[in-house]
Amino acid sequence: MNVFRLTHITTSLHSGSRMVVKNVCCIGAGYVGGPTCSVIAWKCPDIRVHVVDKSQARIKQWNSDKLPIYEPGLDEVVKECRGRNLFFSNDIDQAVREADLIFISVNTPSKTYGIGKGRAADLKHIELCARKIAEVAEGHKIVVEKSTVPVRAAESISHILSANTKPGVSYQVLSNPEFLAEGTAIENLVNPDRVLIGGEESAEGEAAVGELTWIYHHWVPQHKIITLSTWSSELSKLASNAFLAQRVSSINAISALCEATGADVSQVAYAVGKDSRIGSKFLQASVGFGGSCFQKDLLNLVYIAECLNLHEVAMYWQQVTDMNEYQRTRFAKRIIGCLFNTVTDKTLAVFGFAFKKNTGDTRESPAIFVCSHLLEEGARLNIYDPKVERQQIESDLTSARATSEPERVEKLIHIYTDPYQAVTDAHAIVILTEWDEFKTYDYKKMLSVMKKPAFLFDGRKILDHESLINLGFHTETIGKRFTRNTLLRSSGGDL
């Protein structure tokens, strides 16, 4: 079916029967809408791209020299296209009215209220976009679901649009989920593994799929563009994130076994990944996965399965997120255990707060969970991250969800812009993000200003642990135990 549809689309493109997309609008100028549409504008100089958002602050930043998100390569793309065929504004009505094709790229967080609280995707922003489009649209519009949504969300969008259709207005709704990862967004967008386009199985549906395919054809080879049914496209996105998260939880489960048995998780991951059926990617054991999507998309999948009475399926995917919770808690407990079972009034230098390197994003960062656990135990935290803003760290750790005692926490956290200052008089260094610069530090110099015994907990497995032990650090990492640390502990660590 797929081959048939692709052939059909290519034929209709060549026959000159297309509507020719000249104006694209994207509602939602976030981590997905911003980079995705910047790349479309960059690769398609013949298309005008308008990125709109309800947040004035966000749009102001997109129009400034300091973009609202840090993403390698993004500044250059925006600089080249902004004002030429790429525009950022709050005028949603006008952008929607002028557009031939509208991406909906707004946030779809887990619900924080009502039925499905904490698990179901909150589609209120999507619905508001559909209603806005219905209110102001003129002529024919292709509406593209770019946000990650539950299966059959496109049906709800279509219902809202058709129930409010004015004379002379028509719509086609497509699913085109995004697979970019933060920190490598531009690279992923420029050279995607695949692009999914789901559409209705009708002549109109296929014509709309053809229009979006034409946009991607500007830079993505035909064989990477997969057309499929709307529902398959929506579910493929949730399934992809679930599979990726599952790999991380699988290797993290093995890391606990390694620590208990004396095996080394890096060696196990290497050996397992050499099997070409398994592959080596996404097998890096860590303090746990973070980011705005893995957790919410997994929980959404669990919720969908439960609603469909597929309890075993729900329980299977639930375990992936339970394992992640276990890994984060296990790491925090290990820190406390090694520090003689108490961190109260001890100073810990925390390196990294973003959920992964090369981003300033902290959403669901394991750092929030580990730090919150340590703060509950009364630790003082000196936190350094090269890209996360001070206010973000403060708000993440003092928010109602992270703690019940914001005033107490405020006194316990100190944000540093220099890692060497952050370690002064600290009892331990805790690495929570895999920033490359952490590998380049002078740990001998750091050790000299720390309390002894000095501890280092590498939650990302990025440092040379043997060298650190030789320097005199009591070193702990995920999925491996160092026997020489025992000597350190018995000698008071003063080597």
Ligand X SMILES: NC(=O)C1=CN([C@@H]2O[C@H](COP(=O)(O)OP(=O)(O)OC[C@H]3O[C@@H](n4cnc5c(N)ncnc54)[C@H](O)[C@@H]3O)[C@@H](O)[C@H]2O)C=CC1
Ligand Y SMILES: O=C(O)[C@H]1O[C@H](OP(=O)(O)OP(=O)(O)OC[C@H]2O[C@@H](n3ccc(=O)[nH]c3=O)[C@H](O)[C@@H]2O)[C@H](O)[C@@H](O)[C@@H]1O
- Residue 178 binds ligand X (CB under 6 A): yes
26, 37, 47, 53: which one binds ligand X (CB under 6 A): 53
Q: Work out whether 147 is an interface residue with ligand X (CB under 6 A).
A: yes
How many C-beta atoms surround the C-beta of residue 306 within 10 A?
17
**What is the Cβ-side half-sphere exposure of residue 422, based on CA atoms within 13 angstroms?**
25
- Within 382-464, where are the H helices? 390-398, 406-412, 419-422, 443-448
CB of 445 to ligand X, least distance (A): 36
Binding mask 104-123 for ligand X (x = CB under 6 A): -xxxx---------------
Out of ligand X, ligand Y, none, what residue 58 binds, judged by CB under 5 to 8 A for its kind, is ligand X
150 binds ligand X (CB under 6 A): no
Of the candidate residues 128, 256, 263, 471, the single one contacting ligand X (CB under 6 A): 128
The listed partner (ligand X, ligand Y, none) that binds 213, CB under 5 to 8 Å by sort, is none
CB 434 within 8 Å of CB 352: yes
Q: Tell whether residue 55 is a contact of ligand X (CB under 6 A).
A: yes
The whole-angstrom separation of Cα 67 and Cα 65 is: 6
339 CB-near residues (< 8 Å, 6+ apart): 346, 427, 428, 455
53 assigned ligand-binding residue:
yes
Question: In Å, how far are 29, 277, 310 from 96, measured between CA atoms?
Answer: 14, 46, 40
CB of 180 to ligand Y, least distance (A): 5
The yes or no reply on residue 28 touching ligand X (CB under 6 A) is yes
Q: Is 482 known as a binding-site position?
A: no
Is 294 labeled as ligand-binding? yes
Q: How far is CA 13 from CA 138, 186, 207, 238, in A?
A: 24, 27, 9, 30
Residue 289 binds ligand Y (CB under 6 A): yes
Q: What is the closest distance, in whole angstroms, from the C-beta atom of residue 227 to ligand Y in the complex?
A: 19
- Per-residue x/- mask for ligand X, residues 263 to 302, rule CB under 6 A? -----------------------------xx---------
Asked whether the bond before 150 is cis by omega within 30 degrees of 0, the reply is: no
Amino acid at 288: G
Least distance (Å) between residue 236 CB and ligand X: 12
Strand-pair category, 380-384 with 347-351:
parallel
Choosing from 96, 126, 283, 374, the residue that interacts with ligand Y (CB under 6 A) is: 283
CB distance 161 to 171 below 8 Å: yes
Does 147 show up as a binding residue in the annotation?
yes
Q: Is the CB of 148 or the CB of 321 nearer to ligand Y? A: 148
């959920």: which residue's tokens?
355
Cross-strand pairs, 227:
197
Is residue 54 part of the contact set for ligand X (CB under 6 A)? yes
What is the three-state SS of 187-243? HHHHCCCCEEEEECCCHHHHHHHHHHHHHHHCCCCHHHEEEEEHHHHHHHHHHHHHH
Tell me how far apart the alpha carbons of residues 88 and 303 are, in angstroms, rounded to a whole number. 36
Contact 178, 64 (CB under 8 A): no
Distance (Å, whole) CA 413 – CA 402: 13
Q: Of 179 and 420, which has the nearer Cβ to ligand Y?
A: 179
Q: Which is nearer to ligand X, 110 or 227 (CB)?
A: 110
210 binds ligand X (CB under 6 A): no
Task: Choose the binding region for ligand X from 176-184, 365-373, 402-410, 471-479 (rule: CB under 6 A).
Answer: 176-184
Residue closer to ligand X by CB (options 149, 335) is 149
Q: Select the residue interacting with ligand Y from 147, 233, 286, 321 (CB under 6 A).
A: 286
371: annotated binding-site residue? no
* Separation between Cα atoms, residue 227 and residue 124, nearest integer Å: 27
Is residue 282 close enough to count as binding ligand Y by CB under 6 A? yes
Active site members: 293
Q: Kindly identify the residues of this chain, within the stretch 104-143, that bind ligand Y according to CB under 6 A.
A: none
Chain contacts with ligand Y (rule: CB under 6 A): 148, 178-182, 241, 244, 248, 282-284, 286, 289-291, 293-294, 355-356
Binding-site residue numbers are 28-33, 53, 58, 147-148, 182, 293-296, 363
Binding-site residue numbers for NAD(+) are 28-33, 53, 58, 147-148, 182, 293-296, 363
